[in-house]
Chain A
């Protein structure tokens, strides 16, 4: 059964720092990997989707990479801002198609 781990569980940084959030998974036979953002009490917003054939995706200040062989993905946030404060989750879809979620990284960016 696929297991997804996100490290760190929580992160507090000053504004302007470049950040790396990590997502690891145990079964490398994946279909895709998706990063989400969730504000407290709100729904999940899709940030980036990486198909299994891709190595990375970029959107604005966000860059997500995928290394299937090592079972890892990283979400890079450049020049962090207080508005980036949220919980970031990754979800991995495998052969069964059913996505498996990590527990998330809670990020606080303080001015």
Chain B
């Protein structure tokens, strides 16, 4: 089954404690992206990757890091989480082939930073 898998789905942590949210897709997609969703602000892109070893900043990259060492994985790293990073996070992926381009989303990771 084609899917984007995020872990953990729920996490409560404290300020300053490094954490990683993993994202994996099984569709051999080139494009992967991280979003955060907050009430009244919609979906905002954090980082994206067009392929292995190619990453770029989205609209709200501050406080986040990513890496794309393998095509299937795109982890989101919060080196020193702060309460303003409490949010619902989504990973997404799609193919960049002509005629494709359907964007698939993970189920989301709800993060609370105390």
Residues of A within 8 A of B (CB): 31-32, 34, 36, 41-46, 49, 51, 89, 91, 93, 97-99, 101-104
Contact = CB atoms under 8 A, between A and B. Distances in A.
Chain B interface bracket (under 10, 10 to 19, 20 to 34, 35 or more): 20 to 34
> Which of A43, A93, A98 has most B Cβ within 10 Å?
A43
28 contacts: A31-B101, A36-B105, A41-B88, A41-B108, A42-B108, A43-B90, A43-B105, A43-B107, A44-B90, A44-B92, A45-B105, A46-B103, A46-B104, A46-B105, A49-B102, A89-B43, A91-B103, A93-B101, A93-B103, A97-B50, A97-B96, A97-B101, A98-B33, A98-B45, A98-B48, A98-B58, A101-B42, A101-B43
A89 B103 CA distance: 12
Contacts, number: 46
Q: Does more than half of chain B's interface fall in helix, strand or loop, or is it mixed?
A: strand
Contacts of A42: 107-108
Interface of B: 31, 33, 42-43, 45, 48, 50, 58, 88, 90, 92, 96, 99, 101-108, 110
Given A41-B88, A43-B107, A97-B31, A34 B102 contact: yes
